[in-house]
Amino acid sequence: MGGYSVTERAMKPIAVEMNAISKRFGGVHALREVSLSVRGGEIHALLGENGAGKSTILKILRGVQAPDSGTISVGGEVFEHLSPQLARHKGVGMIFQEMSLVPTLSVAQNVFLASEPLTALGLIDDRAMERRSAEIFASMGVSVDPAAIVAGLSTGQQQLTEIAKALSQNAGVLVLDEPTSALTASEVDILFELLRRLRGEGKAIIYVSHRMDEIFRIADHATVLRDGRLIDSRPIADYTLPTLIADIMGKATRDLSEFTTASTAQDDIILRVEHLASKLRRGGDVSFSLRRGEVLGIAGLLGAGRSRLARILFGLEPIAGGTITLRGQTISIGSARQAIELGLALVPEDRRRQGLVLAHSIQDNIELPILDRLGSTPFVDRLKSRTTTDELIKRLAIKTASREAAANSLSGGNQQKIVIGKWLATAPDILIMDEPTAGIDIGSKGEVLRLVRALAAEGKSIIFISSELAELAAVSDRIAVMSGGRLVETIDKTDLLINTGDAAELRAEQKLQMIVQRGGNHV
């Protein structure tokens, strides 16, 4: 656990200071006189639910947005606002939660994008870029080919490329927004060791994460925002998990054991998969059954094949072999449209690129998969569409001023609710959810987990893919573990929850972690 005393912190130089920052978007106060002080040689956690104001204050620091009032001090120099170029010039580097890489360029070209080294003739020096990129990755302790095209990298490798890109700018202030969301445990260890080294070199690191275990493990100091206001800023050692969550949410909350409800699974098997394999990856072999009203959790390390399984079942990836039996009939699923007609729906892993048309309204997004149900003519029944949208906004408690609000104007948690809502509008029998709580705040996470159990109680069958083992242990009836494209083990919830209470939940998570790690050896 990180942390130091207030006296020790006072001896460190201030790297960034944002004083009384306010920002409004129309009638909404995104920030109300928020102050943030980050010192050199510290890892400073910036915490809060989606919509708390974290993204806004970071965009102001990065120069993407200008504050309505307040000042920004970087390295002792005071500004009323920054531009992206000025922020970069002053040593502010950012690793974005939503990756900013150009997929058609090489790793090295992305790392040095807009700051390419030149030859004596003024041409871009590709060899120098690759050499310097390799040096950065070596310093990080990871192996990524600088000449590789980004589109061919795994999600974890792309995230590491984002980190290398920020480090290449020699930033004195490094902002990391959910940097571990796509990393394996070993990659997280490498990142944290790197951050500690950078802290030792005097760099100021602003660290944003919804994973509380990471915060207590790596941060020295924490600033909490809620509803656009500063709630508190103090050493992480002064917090416990309950008090930190209470500051973030405004009230004490129960742990994930509240979602450990009685199973609603029926005897009726709605889906059976036998020896399923993808054409796009060798060695796959997945067999399982799914009962009506059951939540089947899917666990596994990054690259285990969980998302690929979801894509196959939704007709987005061709199969090389195996059978799919739905309601007792052997079927083939050749497209997403066919999957929808068969009563399947998929909440994809990447909500921004795969789940939403961000510039369009909530109503437009919810309409997309049900256009054929909104009128028999070429024109959409707008009344029916508005009614459907309003019902889903109410049911899912989507925080928005209007159904006409653009999806990209909402917080990550509310965007995720739109994705879930649009697929619930198709009235599926089977809902596949791929990392449905990734990158959303604690409150929205709880709402998603409650919804999953409620849908199961209504008789819907859920395939719940998650990297959060505590979530899987709490919300699932059974958990299937994948490794190397294969399903290697299935565990019943009752085998994990030996006793009741908090200790049992902890033991369940630890036991599941051991099974997942053991599954990593099955290749």
Q: Is the pLDDT of residue 253 over 50?
A: no
> What three-state secondary structure class fits 306?
helix
Q: Mean pLDDT across the stretch 286-314?
A: 91
What's the pTM value of the predicted model, to 2 decimals?
Answer: 0.60
**Alpha-carbon span 70 to 311, nearest angstrom:** 47
447-483: buried (b, 16+ CB within 10 Å) or exposed (e) per residue?
A: bbbebbbebbeeebbbbbbbbbbbbbbbbbbbbbbbb
Q: Is the pLDDT of residue 320 over 60?
A: yes
pLDDT, residue 520, reads 44
Contacts of 484 (CB under 8 A, 6+ apart): 283, 304, 305, 522, 523
**Alpha-carbon span 187 to 189, nearest angstrom:** 5
Burial class (CB in 10 A: 0-12, 13-18, 19+), 79: middle
Read off the pLDDT of residues 401-419 as tens digits, 9 standing for 90 and up: 899 999 988 888 889 999 9
Distances (CA, A) of 180 to 47, 143, 187, 365, 468: 15, 17, 8, 29, 12
**Alpha-carbon span 481 to 240, nearest angstrom:** 32
Task: With cut-offs at 50, 70 and 90, classify the pLDDT of residue 94.
Answer: confident
pLDDT, residue 260, reads 63
Q: What residue ranges define each of the domains in the chain, with the CATH number in brackets?
A: 1-91+202-253 (3.40.50.300), 356-427 (no CATH)
Lowest-confidence region among 52-61, 84-93, 139-148, 514-523: 514-523
Decide which of 406 and 183 is more confident. Answer: 406
Q: Is the pLDDT of residue 226 over 80?
A: yes
> What three-state secondary structure class fits 446?
helix
Lowest-confidence region among 113-122, 146-155, 435-444, 512-521: 512-521
Task: With cut-offs at 50, 70 and 90, classify the pLDDT of residue 302.
Answer: low
Under 8 Å between Cβ of 43 and 200: no
Q: Is the pLDDT of residue 522 over 70?
A: no
Q: Is the pLDDT of residue 147 over 70?
A: yes
Question: In sequence order, what DSSP letters do the residues of 215-266 get, joined into one string?
Answer: HHHH-SEEEEEETTEEEEEEEGGG--HHHHHHHHHSS----GGGG-PPP---
pLDDT, residue 486, reads 87
Read off the pLDDT of residues 107-130 as tens digits, 9 standing for 90 and up: 999 999 988 999 999 999 999 999
| Kind and range of the H or E run holding 348 | none
Lowest-confidence region among 194-198, 209-213, 280-284: 280-284
Q: Mean pLDDT across the stretch 334-354?
A: 91
Q: Mean pLDDT across the stretch 283-309?
A: 88
Under 8 Å between Cβ of 460 and 429: yes
